[in-house]
């Protein structure tokens, strides 16, 4: 179908003009404008922190803009509330699901729009309507199940149904594929296309260009809180979108070229040895279900896979942050399975954690204090902390890693994402270690910092250390790894040498369609 | 730096203002003039040596319970149990005193008393700490519940085994009485202020040093700010929890010395009544900073003593009301002030 | 006969708990910690006695109690919601406030710091111990009704669904247009009114207000709320169980089988056991004590 033409003639569903929004010191939107025609799928793209989610939350009524004008179907709706947005048929599916886990699917469906009969909740009616809607859209759910018992894919189905149940004609989805497996993503695309057929309007927030090319009709690109470009999908290329996103040329292809040529000449003694590891996760038993591997000195093993397939649990278990049900881990020949976090550090393990805001940094501690987190014993004389040594260390690391502002006494909270991550990287690379666990090392970091961090990781590898890399970004895994394992359902679905791996080869393993192990 | 000072002082100013307004209304409702009541209050507290001595005496206990609550909050733990920890500390110290031979000098007995009082508080504080570390039981509820349990237990032990017939207290302790301030400065005659005051000030300094200068303090504060990050940083979070709760209990427990060995020389049922809960107020108003705690303890002690000074004119409970108003006003304005400060730093 | 007397006594003791615990359930399910229950009860007892005294009607007394409890709870909710004050701190401060204020106004109104004069109450002058005399007190029936109504409200009405969502995942509730703050204000007011009725029961049953007459009953109700896992019926069972233990202790007082202090400990000890999860953990509402963004 020719959606581009139709969008040119179709009435405008959404028009946001010159939106400003700041949260304390952060200017999330600085004059952002977007226009979406009725009946099209519109992709809102940009790097993490570009202000996409804020702009859409303003549209959904969760935030009021500081300045600017909002129109939906030609009506001025500036600063409306969530309830008004829902009444007007605007529904939003958030990145973090907005479902109450202790309530049933039906209760979540009706929350905020509860039908009653004789003053009581009419649960039977909701169940009936949900079942009907479920049949019509092909999104299968059980109204009486508790949301806490649903899988991630099912929960997202409930989220979409929830907005449709409320009569959404304009659907906003915030990074909907981050937690889905490829078959689930295909299913989602099918549902969205069906909605477009029915004349409904969809805005898709994403930073994945392949998704943009596959599903969208038109595109708005955001950078640093501003809307940079409005494009028609059939008339643009991934490279052009990427350029608009980051503000300069990006060599998409070269990402793949720079791996080590040493992948086959593995020295005999491995630095990290993991055997038959079984780890329980917060939501299910055996989130890691019998994983074993080893990493040699001077080698990066990259773990690819859709998030939520046990990567987080695997790394936490290796770092000593999560108990292991069975199996063993050793670093440089020493069994560390039963050791504490601190003893693992002493045994030569270093760890860049997945979530720097929750784990990697104490946000209210200063740069200097954060630069010794986990190594506080080394900066202690007797029972006292050695302040001079702490400040010295901070000055050195700030220099070496170009952390800005270059002031040891500034709290980490005040730094940009990239500089915060540099604190973590600086700290973890400055301790004596043999094995580095690097989880999502460049998540939410600007392009310049990404290149810097990648260079450090390669240097570390070339210095003869072992690195276990976990990244949701397949390009990053392909760019850095010497060997690549694909994790699916808590197991390694495949382990390949870098030269045998590509997105096409890895894809089926990531979906569980193929198993090699 | 200037901003942090403002952030620390503004809520206290707001609280004083609100308290003054409420106080005026209450005093006027009693047909008295606020000016003369406030003058009476100041005269009865800072205006004469006896009153000031009583303020110092009350400051002593409140400093200990305030420090107890503050160190807990620094580790992210809300210790509502200072009340019973204080009582348990006083009880064990009293028990030790009853068992020690008569006539021992204070210099010899003081360390024993401190250890006994700390142990009493540490046991009562440590239990909720272990329950939280081991089972995740929330310390707010367990410490409240433990208050009732421990006070009932101490009442039983006193009533069944220790009390002097016809009273609610134990026999008098004769070993190593702690000197009162009046033995050094005559003007304090009659007031209960005693050397435990100096112990309180030293303890406040020690707590400040521990929190901000030692590795354990670094780990404790990290645990309070972000437990997941502390765990990642090699800190045994559960260990910090129960150790801090025990330490917090110990601090409150040592406060029991002030009454039992510094003032009355016997343990008495419900001597701690209210001082534990006021410790929460002291910690909040003192912003969990040991120096702030000492200042806040002095302010609350002045109010408590001032209530007695004005009781002939207006009911002394006016002070309870004003203390509550101060707590509510500080608790309500701290987040607001922080938000305004952040908004301003952005602009 | 002994059994009936035992039941009557248990019910008499349980009624204030039932009122306050049903208030505790709605407050905590909405995300507001119920630490102020003791204060609402004491405030309710005082306002109930004063209103009854000046009007000559215990029914007006009840209205006074409800108004007083609601006002206190709304003060708590205002600081916790609008000003994001720490709920634990404010909850404790409210108790302190009410303890001081009731004594202060006791002296202002009645020139006594301990007791009010005799006030009109419900039921017989000398309230007997039998079930029959108990049944004449309308507050007994109201107390039992409070639990049933609370369960219906929480599980069968739109408002109850919103309360459960607000206490568990307020952001989700907000995202579908549920006014979480308003839901919580209403829950707070309800909890204040219910707890105040429990306090008024005490004052009107004894035909006078005396200082600190609630004597920790609000905390027992909070214990019942938690021990009953934030469910009205289970909380009611906890109230009855705690009351039965007290009754047993009173009836055994002469016999000196167990020291009374140990019976006093029962509700508190059981609550700790429940929280520690020795038999199935008690898991509080996820957003309990947290202000919304």
Q: Which residue has the higher pLDDT, A371 or A249?
A: A371
Percent of chain A with pLDDT over 90: 59
Report the residue from A82, A97, A107 with minimal CB separation from C161: A107
Confidence of residue B179 (pLDDT cuts 50, 70, 90): confident
Chain B CA closest to residue A385: B214
pLDDT digits (tens, 9 = 90+) for B131-165: 999 988 889 989 999 999 999 999 999 988 888 88
pLDDT recorded at residue A514: 67
Q: How far is CA C43 from the centre of its chain?
A: 11
Residues of C in contact with A82 (CB under 8 A): 174-177
Report the residue from B222, B228, B235 with minimal CB separation from A358: B228
Confidence of residue A446 (pLDDT cuts 50, 70, 90): confident
How close, in Å, is residue B65 to chain A by CA atoms? Answer: 25
- Contact check, Cβ <8 Å, A369/B213: no
pLDDT recorded at residue A96: 81
pLDDT recorded at residue C258: 77
Is the pLDDT reported for residue A1 higher than 90? no
Q: Which of B75, B207, B212, B215 to mutate to test the interface with A (most CBs of A within 10 A)?
A: B215
CA separation for the pair A431, A349 (Å, rounded)? 9
- Contact check, Cβ <8 Å, B324/C97: yes
- Contact check, Cβ <8 Å, A353/B232: yes
Residues of C in contact with B141 (CB under 8 A): 222, 226, 271-272, 275
In a domain, B94, yes or no: yes
User: Each residue's pLDDT tens digit in chain C (293 positions)?
Assistant: 678 888 888 999 999 999 999 999 999 999 999 999 999 999 999 999 999 999 999 999 999 999 999 999 999 999 999 999 999 999 999 999 999 999 999 999 998 888 999 999 886 555 455 667 777 788 999 999 999 999 999 999 999 999 999 999 999 999 898 999 999 999 999 999 999 999 999 999 999 999 999 999 999 999 999 989 999 999 999 999 999 988 888 887 666 677 888 888 888 998 888 888 765 667 888 889 887 76
Q: What is the number of structural domains in chain C? A: 1
How close, in Å, is residue C30 to chain B by CA atoms? Answer: 18
Q: Can you tell me the mean pLDDT for A134-138?
A: 84
Q: CB-based contact (8 Å) between B241 and chain C?
A: no
In a domain, C129, yes or no: no
A299-304 vs A326-331, strand pairing mode: unpaired
How close, in Å, is residue A165 to chain B by CA atoms? Answer: 38
Q: CB-based contact (8 Å) between C216 and chain B?
A: yes
Structural domain boundaries enclosing B125: 48-315
Q: Which residues of A266-289 are buried (b: 16+ CB within 10 A; e: fewer)?
A: beeebbbbbeebbbbbeeeebbbb
Report the residue from C157, C172, C178 with minimal CB separation from A119: C157
pLDDT recorded at residue A9: 64
Q: Can you tell me the mean pLDDT for A277-304?
A: 90
Is the pLDDT reported for residue B106 higher than 70? yes
Question: A299 in helix, strand or coil?
Answer: strand
In a domain, C197, yes or no: yes
In a domain, C96, yes or no: yes
Residue A44: CA atoms inside 13 Å, Cβ hemisphere, count? 32
pLDDT recorded at residue A206: 85
In a domain, C167, yes or no: yes
**HEC letters along chain C:** CHHHHHHHHHHHHHHHHHHHHHHHHHHHHHCCCCCCHHHHHHHHHHHHHHHHHHHCCHHHHHHHHHHHHHHHHHHHHHHHHHCCCCHHHHHHHHHHHHHHHHHHHHHHHHCCCCECCCCCCCCCCCCCCCHHHHHCCHHHHHHHHHHHHHHHHHHHCHHHHHHHHHHHCHHHHHHCCCCHHHHHHHHHHHHHHHHHHHHHHHHHHHCCCECCCCCCHHHHHHHHHHHCCCCHHHHHHHHHHHHHHHHHHHHHCCCCCCCHHHHHHHHHHHHHHHHHCCCCCCCCCCCCCCCCC
Residue B238: CA atoms inside 13 Å, Cβ hemisphere, count? 11
In a domain, B17, yes or no: no
CATH number of the domain within which B52 lies: 1.10.3470
Touching B (3+ Cβ pairs <8 A), the chains are A, C
pLDDT digits (tens, 9 = 90+) for B252-293: 999 999 999 888 888 988 888 889 889 999 999 999 999 999
In a domain, B8, yes or no: no
Report the residue from B213, B230, B345 with minimal CB separation from A25: B345
Q: CB-based contact (8 Å) between B37 and chain C?
A: no
In a domain, B192, yes or no: yes
> Dihedral through CA A100, CA A102, CA A105, CA A110, nearest 10?
-60
Confidence of residue A273 (pLDDT cuts 50, 70, 90): very high
Left (φ > 0), alpha (ψ -120 to 50) or beta: where does A42 sit? beta
Confidence of residue A175 (pLDDT cuts 50, 70, 90): confident
Residues of B in contact with C94 (CB under 8 A): 324, 328
In a domain, B334, yes or no: no
pLDDT recorded at residue A391: 96
Touching A (3+ Cβ pairs <8 A), the chains are B, C
All structural domains of chain A, each given as residue ranges with its CATH number in brackets, are 100-166 (no CATH), 269-348+432-517 (3.40.50.300), 361-431 (no CATH)
Q: Which of C35, C89, C112, C274 to mutate to test the interface with B (most CBs of B within 10 A)?
A: C89
Structural domain boundaries enclosing C232: 9-122+135-276
Q: Can you tell me the mean pLDDT for A447-470?
A: 91
pLDDT recorded at residue A417: 80
Q: What is the number of structural domains in chain B? A: 1
In a domain, C171, yes or no: yes
ipTM associated with this complex: 0.91
Q: CB-based contact (8 Å) between B344 and chain C?
A: no
CA separation for the pair C248, C242 (Å, rounded)? 10
- Contact check, Cβ <8 Å, C92/B327: yes
In a domain, B13, yes or no: no
Q: Residue A294: which of A311, A278, A275, A307 has the closest Cα?
A: A275
Is the pLDDT reported for residue A516 higher than 70? no
CATH number of the domain within which C265 lies: 1.10.3470.10
* Phi and psi angles of residue A161, each rounded to the nearest 5 degrees, phi first: -60, -40
Q: Residue B256: which of B91, B27, B106 has the closest Cα?
A: B91
- Contact check, Cβ <8 Å, A373/B222: yes
Q: Which residue has the higher pLDDT, C282 or B54?
A: B54
Confidence of residue A261 (pLDDT cuts 50, 70, 90): very low
pLDDT recorded at residue A48: 67
Q: Which of A100, A114, A122, A159 to mutate to test the interface with C (most CBs of C within 10 A)?
A: A100
Q: Which of B4, B208, B214, B229 to mutate to test the interface with A (most CBs of A within 10 A)?
A: B229
Q: Can you tell me the mean pLDDT for A144-173?
A: 89
How close, in Å, is residue C11 to chain B by CA atoms? Answer: 23
- Contact check, Cβ <8 Å, C173/A83: no
Touching C (3+ Cβ pairs <8 A), the chains are A, B
Structure tokens at A42: 């519109």
Q: CB-based contact (8 Å) between B311 and chain C?
A: no
CA separation for the pair A269, A262 (Å, rounded)? 15
Residues of B in contact with C88 (CB under 8 A): 78, 80, 140
Report the residue from C157, C168, C177 with minimal CB separation from A121: C157
- Contact check, Cβ <8 Å, B342/A25: yes
Report the residue from C161, C173, C174 with minimal CB separation from A121: C161
Q: pTM of the predicted model, to two decimals? A: 0.88
In a domain, C253, yes or no: yes
In a domain, B240, yes or no: yes
- Contact check, Cβ <8 Å, A363/B226: yes
In a domain, C160, yes or no: yes
Report the residue from C85, C223, C264 with minimal CB separation from B331: C85
CB B132 within 8 A of CB B143: no
Residues of C in contact with A61 (CB under 8 A): 177
Is the pLDDT reported for residue B2 higher than 80? no
């Amino acid at each position: 179908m020719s959606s581009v033409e139709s969008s040119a003639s179709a009435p405008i569903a959404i028009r946001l003009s010159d939106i400003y929004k700041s949260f304390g010191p952060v200017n999330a939107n600085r004059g952002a404008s977007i226009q979406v025609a009725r009946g099209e799928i519109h992709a809102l793209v940009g790097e993490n922190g570009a202000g996409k989610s804020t702009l859409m939350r303003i549209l959904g009524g969760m935030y009021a803009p500081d300045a600017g004008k909002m129109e939906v179907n030609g009506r001025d709706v500036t600063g409306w509330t969530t309830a008004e947005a829902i009444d007007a048929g605007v529904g939003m599916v958030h990145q973090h699901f907005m479902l109450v886990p202790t309530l049933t699917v039906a209760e979540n469906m009706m929350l905020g729009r509860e039908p009653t009969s004789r003053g009581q909740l009419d649960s039977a009616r909701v169940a009936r309507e949900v079942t009907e809607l479920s049949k019509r859209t092909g999104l299968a759910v059980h109204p009486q199940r508790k949301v806490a018992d649903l899988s991630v894919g099912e929960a997202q189905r409930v989220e979409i149904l929830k907005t449709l149940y409320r009569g959404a004609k304009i659907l906003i989805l915030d990074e909907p594929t981050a937690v889905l497996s490829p078959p689930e993503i295909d299913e989602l695309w099918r549902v969205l296309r069906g909605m477009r057929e029915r004349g409904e309007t969809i805005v898709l927030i994403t930073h994945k260009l392949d998704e943009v090319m596959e599903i969208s009709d038109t595109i708005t690109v955001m950078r640093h809180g501003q809307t940079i470009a409005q494009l028609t999908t059939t008339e643009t290329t991934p490279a052009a979108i990427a350029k608009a996103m980051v503000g300069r040329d990006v060599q998409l292809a070269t990402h793949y070229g720079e791996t080590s040529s040493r992948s086959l000449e593995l020295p005999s003694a491995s630095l990290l040895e993991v055997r038959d590891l079984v780890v329980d996760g917060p939501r299910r038993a055996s989130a890691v279900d019998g994983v074993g591997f080893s990493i040699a000195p001077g080698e990066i093993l990259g773990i690819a896979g859709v998030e939520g397939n046990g990567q987080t649990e695997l790394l936490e278990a290796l770092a000593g942050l999560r108990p292991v049900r069975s199996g063993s881990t050793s670093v440089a020949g020493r069994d560390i399975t039963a050791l504490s976090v601190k003893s693992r550090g002493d045994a030569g393990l270093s760890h860049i954690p997945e979530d720097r805001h929750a784990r990697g940094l104490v946000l209210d501690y200063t740069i200097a204090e954060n630069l010794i987190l986990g190594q506080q014993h080394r900066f202690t004389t007797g029972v006292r902390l050695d302040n001079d040594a702490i400040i010295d260390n901070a000055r050195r690391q700030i220099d070496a890693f170009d952390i800005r502002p270059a002031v040891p006494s500034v709290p980490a909270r005040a730094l940009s994402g990239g500089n915060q991550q540099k604190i973590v990287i600086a700290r973890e690379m400055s301790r004596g270690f043999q094995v580095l666990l690097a989880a999502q090392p460049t998540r939410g970091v600007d392009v310049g910092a990404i290149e810097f961090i990648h260079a450090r990781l390669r240097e570390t590898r070339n210095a003869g250390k072992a690195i276990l890399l976990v990244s949701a970004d397949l390009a990053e895994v392909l760019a850095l790894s010497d060997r690549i394992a694909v994790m699916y359902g808590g197991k390694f679905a495949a382990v390949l040498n870098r030269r045998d791996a590509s997105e096409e080869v890895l894809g089926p393993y990531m979906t569980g369609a193929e198993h090699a192990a | 730096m200037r901003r942090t000072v403002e952030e620390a002082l503004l809520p206290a100013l707001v609280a004083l203002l609100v308290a003054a307004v409420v106080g005026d209304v209450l005093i006027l409702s009693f047909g008295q003039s606020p000016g003369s009541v406030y003058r009476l209050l100041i005269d009865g507290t800072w205006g004469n040596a006896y009153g000031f001595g009583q303020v110092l005496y009350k400051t002593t206990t409140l400093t200990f319970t305030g420090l107890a609550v503050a160190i807990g909050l620094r580790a992210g733990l809300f210790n509502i149990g200072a009340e019973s920890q204080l009582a348990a500390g006083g009880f064990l110290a009293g028990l030790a005193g009853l068992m020690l031979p008569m006539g021992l000098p204070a210099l010899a007995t003081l360390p024993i008393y401190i250890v006994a009082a700390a142990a009493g508080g540490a046991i009562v504080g440590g239990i909720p700490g272990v329950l939280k570390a081991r089972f995740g039981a929330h310390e707010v509820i367990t410490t409240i519940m433990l208050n009732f349990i421990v006070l009932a237990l101490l009442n039983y032990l006193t009533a069944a085994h220790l009390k002097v017939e016809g009273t609610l207290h134990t026999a008098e302790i004769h070993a190593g009485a702690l000197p009162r301030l009046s033995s050094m400065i005559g003007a304090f005659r009659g007031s209960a202020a005693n050397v435990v005051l100096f112990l309180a000030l030293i303890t406040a300094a020690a707590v400040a040093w521990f929190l901000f200068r030692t590795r354990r303090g670094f780990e404790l504060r990290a645990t309070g700010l972000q437990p997941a990050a502390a765990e990642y940083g090699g800190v045994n979070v559960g260990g910090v929890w129960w150790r801090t709760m025990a330490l917090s209990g110990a601090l409150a427990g040592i406060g029991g010395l002030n009454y039992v060995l510094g003032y009355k020389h016997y343990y008495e049922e419900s001597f701690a009544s209210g001082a534990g809960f006021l410790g929460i107020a002291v910690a909040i108003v003192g912003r969990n900073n040991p120096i702030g705690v000492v200042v806040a303890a002095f302010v609350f002690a002045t109010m408590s003593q001032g209530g007695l000074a004005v009781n002939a004119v207006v009911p002394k409970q006016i002070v309870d009301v004003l203390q509550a108003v101060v707590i509510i006003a500080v608790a309500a304005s701290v987040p607001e002030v922080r938000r305004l400060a952040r908004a301003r730093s952005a602009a | 006969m002994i059994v009936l007397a035992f039941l009557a006594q248990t019910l008499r003791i349980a009624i204030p708990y039932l009122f306050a615990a049903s208030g505790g359930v709605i407050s905590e399910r909405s995300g507001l910690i119920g630490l102020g229950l003791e204060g609402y009860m004491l405030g309710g007892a005082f306002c109930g006695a004063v209103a009854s005294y000046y009007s000559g009607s215990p029914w007006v007394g009840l209205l006074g109690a409800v108004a007083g409890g609601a006002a206190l709870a709304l003060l708590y909710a205002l600081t916790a919601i609008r000003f994001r004050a720490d709920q634990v701190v404010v909850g404790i401060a409210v108790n302190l406030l009410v303890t001081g204020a009731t004594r202060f106004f006791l002296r202002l109104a009645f020139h006594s710091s301990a007791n009010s004069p005799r006030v009109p109450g419900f039921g017989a002058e000398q309230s007997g111990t039998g079930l029959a005399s108990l049944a004449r007190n309308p507050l007994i029936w109201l107390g039992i009704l409070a639990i049933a109504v609370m369960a219906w409200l929480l599980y069968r009405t739109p408002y109850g669904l919103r309360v459960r969502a607000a206490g568990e995942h307020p952001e989700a509730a907000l995202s579908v247009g549920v006014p979480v703050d308003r839901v919580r204000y209403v829950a707070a007011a309800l909890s204040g009114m219910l707890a105040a009725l429990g306090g008024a029961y005490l004052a009107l049953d004894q035909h006078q207000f005396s200082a600190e007459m609630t004597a920790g009953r609000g905390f027992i109700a909070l214990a019942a709320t938690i021990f009953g896992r934030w469910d009205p019926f289970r909380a009611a069972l906890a109230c009855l169980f705690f009351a039965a233990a007290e009754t047993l202790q009173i009836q055994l007082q002469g016999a000196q089988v167990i020291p009374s202090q140990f019976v006093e400990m029962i509700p508190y000890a059981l609550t700790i056991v429940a929280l520690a999860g020795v038999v199935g953990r008690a898991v509080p509402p996820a957003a309990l004590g947290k202000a919304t963004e």
